[in-house]
Amino acid sequence: MKVLFAAPDHNWSKWAPVLQKTCPEIELTRDGDPAEIEAIIYAPGGEIEDLSPYVNARLVQSLWAGVERIVTNPTLTQPLARMVDPGLTEGMAEYCTGWAMRAHLGMDIYAQDGVWRNSVTPPLARDRNVTVLGMGELGRAVAAMLRGIGFRVTGWSASGRPVEGIETLGGGDLDIALARAEILVTLLPDTPQTRGLMDARRLATLPRGAWLINPGRGTLLDDQALLASLDRGHLGHAVLDVFHQEPLPKDHPFWAHPRVTVTPHIAAETRPETGAVVVAENLRRAARGQTLLHLVDRTRGY
């Protein structure tokens, strides 16, 4: 099976050895006759953006969990699969849990300035409400880890599909989910329906002093509405890992805001060692004509 590696140069040295070891039966190439290519491994920024010549490709396998950069490509006619990497999922759950614990325990009040601040005892996790927006693979993993600590977790997704062990709301119950969220974790995909979803009205629905943790998509937030909510003291803090423009410009007000923590899109990364197993399985399924894993629904965009 001849497989085209259509990803930026820096990905080749990380991925090629692991892929060839995990799936030795494939011929992994960076060029060649498009008619001979049977599958494409894709990440944005590579040289190949016109997919129309690859008429015999039975799979386009994304190396990214998010597919918004390719799903709208008009030349894409092949089946598209997103990356569901166990290592990425674990990393996302750990990131969200770490920052949720910082919010929950009020770690920021303990300045090392000689002042003995023992007037406030944080509640136990079982008395703290956390809402997770987006109950896909990542959202379910985050919700499960937070629930395991003891937090009262509410999930929300557009479909409201039940998730075992987590109260999950859907559709028109978004405001109910937000009103509970002393800590809000946002893991929704980037779609026309989610862009700007957290606007001034919805931010105002959150309890006063709530923390917002967004490692999902920067397009979810109205940046100016978020800054205004933080400035007037309605929101307590925002932890932001994703942005409308990346890298975040040096003069962006998020950098200097005392109630914003910026992390540089590091919440979760696809790891070649674990991601290659997923890619190999899908390549073998494509070669055998079997059902592919993690196919993207192009009408929903994820």
Cite the active site residues. Answer: 217, 265
Contact 74, 49 (CB under 8 A): no
Q: Note the maximum CA span of the chain.
A: 71
Rounded Cα–Cα distance for residues 67 and 75 (Å):
15
Contact 145, 97 (CB under 8 A): yes
Rg (CA), the chain: 21
Rounded Cα–Cα distance for residues 284 and 292 (Å):
9
Contacts of 26 (CB under 8 A, 6+ apart): 1, 2, 3, 19, 20, 39, 283
Contact 198, 222 (CB under 8 A): yes
Amino acid code (one letter) for 301: G
